[in-house]
Structures are given as C-alpha cells and as structure tokens.
Amino acid sequence: MKLLLLLSLVAMAQCLALRVPLRRGKSLRQSLQEHGLLQHYLKQHPYNPATKYFATSASAEPLQNYMDNEYFGTISIGSPAQEFTVIFDTGSSNLWVPSVYCSSPACTNHNRFNPADSSTFIGTNDSVEIAYGTGSMTGILGYDTVTVADIEVLNQIFGLAETEPGDFFYYVPFDGILGLAFPSIASSGATPVFDNMMKEGLVAQDLFSVYLSKNGQSGSFVLFGAIDSSYTTNGISWIPLSAETYWQITMDSVSIGGQVVACSAGCQAIVDTGTSLLAMPNSALNNLLNAFGASSNGQVRPQGSTQDLPISCEAVSSLPDVVFYLNGQGFPVPPSAYVLQSNGYCSLAFQGMNIPTESGELWILGDVFIREYYVIFNRANNMVGLSPLP
C-alpha cells in the first residue's frame, strides 16, 4: 500500500514538473510526510522536491548550494532571454550583471549581457557604482524584461557592469547580484526587482521566504509571494524591523551558557543572505572567543586575523550554543552550524568588523544563522519571520 501511494505521489510530482494542471491540494512534501514516506523519497530522489511544487500558488526560485558558502539561482534578462546566475541578496538592493562593455577579468569568464541582442532593451546615460564588503562594480543602467522564478517583470531597471575591479568576482561561481533589500539603499535610485513585483501585482503577498540547505545539499529556494507551511511546523516568530534599509532588526543580547557575552545594551543586526558568516564588532568577537576558551578548556585557539579562527575539531562536541535574543526570544545557533569543517580542518564561522551606525554596533546574521531557520521577509508588515528548522 505504501509503495503504491509513493508511486502515485511521484507520478503527481512528474505531472507538476511538466506543468500539467492538477486539482489544488496538499503539497507532495506534506503528503509524503503525513504517510511517513518523506525520508524514503528523499533518499531515492536526492534533489529536495520542495522547490518544484509551488507553481499552483506561488513562484519558487531554486538555489544552488555552493559548498555552504554561496547560494545562487538563474534569472533571465531581455528578449530573447539571456540567462545569468545571481546571488539573491537581502543585504543590497540593486540588480546587476556583467555586460559586453566590460573588459575586467571578472567579466570575461562569466555570462555577459548584450543589449544589442534584446529587442526590449532601453538604454540610459545613467551610471551606477556599488561597493560590497568583498568586491565592487561600476557600469550603466538600462531597462529590460527580467524573469525570476517564472515571474516576468517588464521594464526592470538593472546595472550593466563595465568594470569589476579586483579578483573576488573573477573566482565566484555566479554572474551577478539581485538585491532584495529596500529601495532606500539602492544605488542610483534604482527600483529593486521585488518592489516592481509588488507594484505590478505579480505576487500573491508582499513577502518572500528563504530556505538554505546545509552540508552542500540541494533544495534551497527563494519563494516569492508565499510561505511554505511545511517549513513552519515549529511556528513563526515575528521580529519588527528597526529600519527600512537592510532587513535590519534590534537584537537584545547574545548569550553563551546562559551568560550575556555581547550586545548587552542592545544592538542592531541585519539578516543577510549575501553574507556567508556571522559578522560582528571586533570587541564582541573577542568576548565570544573568551567565552569559548573558558567553556572548552582552552581548546579554542584563534590566531592570525579575525577572519581566520581555527579551532581544534575535537573541541566541537563540547562547545555551547550561541543564542541570539531577538524581540525577547532566544534563537540558538549550535556549534554544528558555526564551526566549519573541511578536510579535517575546523574554524569558527565568525568575522570581526566595525561598521558604525546611528544606532551603535552592527551585526550581520549571515547564512550560518539563516540555515537554522526558515526566514520570511515581510514587506507588507515590515517584519522578519523566523521558524526553527528540524
């Protein structure tokens, strides 16, 4: 009986993949889970099916997990479509891709947009310049049709990179960046893609949600216009934004072993899918390292810069959770999340930085944090929703 049910559910999945109309009902994931077949199905089909079955209610963009370090998906620009891989970045607001006008080494080994090949492209004389923590670009702005997760956005403004200095973008596995933060921080006043989706009524709700897989597994996605209830079985905690710039929230404190070790008077944090690590002020990083040293009998041995924090792999099992208190509630990040392991080498996924803001010290809750939660970015109510993942 279970085998027949599994086969029928798989057949339903194949129909959905071929876009055959079906009666609306429970998702494949929900049905498999209810009948105790989900784990069996995932073992037989390593690609997590969650990203394939939103077509009847919302639009999901599957993301490729690149070594738990970067997550990127494929979009298209122009008519006919020219495809690009982009980071879906909640820490910035502009869309840009390399262009044929760019001669930087970083452009030559990535896909480049050619406006002459698009019948819907509209050029401008406006320039754009964007600096990130690890790279930068300069270029010009243009308008064209942009397709994201089967959502077609007409006359979307975007950047055509003319220079990408340095070597960071040369080595990355993606072409460009699609910013999902607020218009207030968009360079050159460009309207973000999601703002145009909302304005044109292309999403059912003014929100998007993100799931980032762990351990190099597939199944990551950005879901536009909806919340997948199969990822919120542990409930959703809503945290109001403190600024409509980045997805910025107020953090009450950071604790280890029940003791506050940082952000004791409150601080600001941004939830940023475009940052791999947990970034914090240098003083807070020192406090965390001291707390780890006390709790692991000196086995934590930071050396070098604040971006190189090696740790004895044997110490991992004895390390405590780092608990981030947001809106009065604790959100733990276990050592399995904040210790990075590769080829027998272990390091802490923390980075020291000092970014001054009007509200004081700033933290960045990057992918290390986000992987522990299904995150909902709600523009309708200007809140971030967090649901603990199993």
The Cα 287–Cα 73 span in angstroms is: 37
232-388 belongs to CATH 2.40.70.10: yes
- The three-class DSSP label of residue 12 is helix
Q: What is the pTM of this model?
A: 0.83
Distance from CA of residue 197 to its chain's centroid?
Answer: 18
Name the pLDDT band for 29 (thresholds 50, 70, 90).
Answer: very low
Q: What is the mean pLDDT of the chain?
A: 85
Residues 6+ apart with CB under 8 A from 375: 209, 210, 271, 384, 385, 386, 387
DSSP 108-174: HTS--B-GGG-TT-EEEEEEEEEE-SS-EEEEEEEEEEEEETTEEEEEEEEEEEEE--SSHHHH-SS
Question: Would residue 144 show up in a list of annotated catalytic residues for this protein?
Answer: no
Name the pLDDT band for 105 (thresholds 50, 70, 90).
Answer: very high
> What tens digit of pLDDT does each residue of 213-236 get?
999 999 999 999 999 999 999 999
Stronger pLDDT, 343 or 155, i.e. the higher one: 155
* Contact in structure between 54 and 223 (CB atoms under 8 Å): yes
What local confidence, expressed as pLDDT, does residue 312 receive? Answer: 84
Residues 6+ apart with CB under 8 A from 346: 310, 311, 312, 313, 316, 339, 340
Q: What percent of the chain has pLDDT over 70?
A: 80
The Cα 242–Cα 239 span in angstroms is: 9
Does the pLDDT at position 18 exceed 60? Answer: no
Catalytic residue among 175, 195, 272, 367: 272
Distance from CA of residue 233 to its chain's centroid?
Answer: 21
> What tens digit of pLDDT does each residue of 274-296 get?
999 999 999 999 999 988 874 43
What local confidence, expressed as pLDDT, does residue 308 receive? Answer: 64
**Which candidate, 308, 376, 384, places its Cα nearest to that of 348?**
308
The H helix count followed by the E strand count for the chain is 9, 23
> What tens digit of pLDDT does each residue of 126-153 get?
999 999 988 999 999 999 999 999 999 9
Does the pLDDT at position 119 exceed 90? Answer: yes
The Cα 223–Cα 58 span in angstroms is: 7
Location of each CATH 2.40.70.10 domain in the chain: 62-224, 232-388
Burial zone of 1 (CB within 10 Å; 0-12 exposed, 13-18 middle, 19+ buried): exposed
What local confidence, expressed as pLDDT, does residue 33 receive? Answer: 52
Residue for token pair 């997948």: 228
Does the pLDDT at position 298 exceed 80? Answer: no
Question: Would residue 126 show up in a list of annotated catalytic residues for this protein?
Answer: no
* Contact in structure between 213 and 148 (CB atoms under 8 Å): no
- Average pLDDT over every residue of 20-44: 44
**Which candidate, 272, 274, 276, 337, places its Cα nearest to that of 307?**
276
Residues 6+ apart with CB under 8 A from 129: 136, 137, 138, 139, 187, 188
Pairing of strands 82-89, 70-77: antiparallel
> What tens digit of pLDDT does each residue of 174-189 get?
999 999 999 999 999 9
Residues 6+ apart with CB under 8 A from 137: 96, 128, 129, 130, 159, 161, 163, 164, 169
Alpha helix ranges (H) inside the chain: 2-17, 28-34, 38-44, 105-108, 168-171, 193-199, 282-295, 335-338, 367-370
**Which candidate, 230, 198, 192, 185, places its Cα nearest to that of 211?**
230
In single-letter form, the type of residue at position 10 comes to V
What local confidence, expressed as pLDDT, does residue 34 receive? Answer: 55
The Cα 185–Cα 166 span in angstroms is: 24
What local confidence, expressed as pLDDT, does residue 344 receive? Answer: 83
Name the pLDDT band for 261 (thresholds 50, 70, 90).
Answer: very high
What does the block give as tokens for 232?
């919120």
DSSP 189-232: GPPPHHHHHHHTT-SSSSEEEEE--STT-S-EEEEET---GGG-
CATH architecture of the domain with residue range 62-224? Beta Barrel (2.40)
Task: Quote the longest CA-to-CA distance of the chain.
Answer: 65
Name the pLDDT band for 202 (thresholds 50, 70, 90).
Answer: very high
What local confidence, expressed as pLDDT, does residue 296 receive? Answer: 39
> What tens digit of pLDDT does each residue of 36-93 get?
554 544 444 443 433 333 433 479 999 999 999 999 999 999 999 999 999 999 999 9
CA dihedral over 241, 245, 251, 255, signed as positive or negative: positive
> What tens digit of pLDDT does each residue of 321-367 get?
999 999 999 999 999 999 998 888 899 999 998 876 666 679 999 99
Catalytic residue among 89, 195, 228, 367: 89
The Cα 111–Cα 300 span in angstroms is: 42
